[in-house]
């Protein structure tokens, strides 16, 4: 594998594109990415549209990460898992930090017992870190770095901040699992850095899996590859950083593809052991 192809594979391995599920089909550029290393897709749809998109993804990549922004029925982790599994998902992209002690640990544990990986967030590096410490202790598979500005960093959002991701989340909390970016098609990100520039900054900051919103298409995907190649050539983005990120994402994908006990709404589960990140 030549160096340029290797870099392209690494970049695709660290991207999570999104589809709205309107027609149940995956765009050609996403299908090409799945062949080259893209680990899965975030499905921004509900009901039958979500299931059709998930089925199309699994037909192209049987062990894909299939993320959903959030369940829509109230309930705990087991209820959320039941809804997500019914939609064909194995990654909950919007697990909110609990306000009560032990709330986050219980939700994450119940969700992941049934094979749905939790992405806990948004992590901002400010405020109470207790829910994230709880989640990390419970073996949460992913944490989402949010778009809120980090104090003292001239408006830089947490998802692009090395001090927030590498310093606090990795360093102070000792978290070793996947760090996911918030979606990069928000106006605050697009206007400030552009999606390609933000993707590179997120990887440099310590993010592993960069989320692309539904508005990001083939042109944005190609521009991210160009920006990453330039950053690697300039020495701003070490290749080893992308290799580390790709390996973490690969571990998450393997975990999410393993069979777990069926999820039933209203049932609270407890694992025999807490999985390591």
pLDDT tens digit at each of 277 positions of the chain: 688 899 999 999 999 999 987 777 899 999 999 999 999 999 998 888 899 999 999 999 999 999 998 776 678 999 999 999 999 999 999 999 999 999 999 999 999 999 999 999 999 999 999 999 999 999 999 999 999 999 888 889 999 999 999 999 999 999 999 999 999 999 999 999 999 999 999 999 999 999 999 999 999 999 999 999 999 999 999 999 999 999 999 999 999 998 765 555 444 433 333 333 4
CA atoms within 13 A on the CB side of 224: 30
* Cα torsion angle, 205, 210, 211, 213, sign: positive
The Cα–Cα gap between 199 and 234 comes to 16
* Cα torsion angle, 61, 62, 67, 72, sign: positive
**Res 95: pLDDT:** 96
For the whole model, what pTM was predicted? 0.92
The Cα–Cα gap between 194 and 184 comes to 8
**Res 259: pLDDT:** 73
CA atoms within 13 A on the CB side of 171: 10
Cα separation values, 242 from 10, 13, 34, 194, 210, Å = 6, 9, 17, 20, 11
Cis peptide before 122 (omega within 30 of 0): yes
The Cα–Cα gap between 251 and 255 comes to 6
Give me the residue spans of the domains in the chain: 3-256
- Classify domain 3-256 by CATH number: 3.20.20.300
């Amino acid at each position: 594998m030549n160096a340029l192809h290797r870099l392209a594979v690494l970049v695709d391995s660290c991207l999570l594109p999104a589809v709205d599920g309107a027609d149940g089909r995956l765009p050609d550029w996403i299908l090409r990415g799945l062949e080259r290393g893209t680990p899965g897709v975030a499905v921004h749809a509900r009901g039958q549209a979500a299931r059709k998109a998930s089925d199309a993804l699994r037909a192209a990549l049987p062990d894909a990460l299939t993320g959903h922004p959030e369940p829509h029925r109230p309930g705990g982790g087991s209820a959320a898992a039941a809804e997500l599994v019914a939609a064909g998902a194995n990654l909950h992209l919007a697990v909110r930090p609990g306000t009560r002690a032990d709330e986050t640990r219980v939700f994450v544990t119940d969700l992941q017992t049934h094979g749905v990986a939790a992405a806990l967030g948004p992590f901002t590096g400010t405020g109470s870190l207790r829910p994230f410490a709880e989640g990390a202790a419970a073996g949460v598979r992913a944490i989402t770095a949010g778009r809120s500005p980090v104090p003292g960093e001239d408006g830089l959002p947490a998802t692009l901040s090395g001090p927030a991701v590498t310093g606090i989340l990795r360093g102070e909390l000792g978290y070793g699992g996947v760090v996911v970016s918030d979606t990069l098609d928000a106006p605050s990100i697009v206007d400030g850095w552009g999606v390609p520039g933000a993707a590179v900054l997120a990887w440099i900051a310590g993010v592993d899996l960069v989320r692309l919103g539904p508005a990001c298409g083939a042109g944005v995907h190609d521009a991210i590859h160009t920006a990453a190649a330039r950053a690697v050539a300039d020495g701003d983005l070490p290749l080893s950083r992308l290799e580390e990120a790709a390996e973490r994402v690969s571990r998450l994908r393997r975990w999410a593809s393993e069979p777990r006990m069926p999820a039933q709404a209203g049932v609270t589960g407890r694992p025999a052991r807490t999985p390591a990140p």
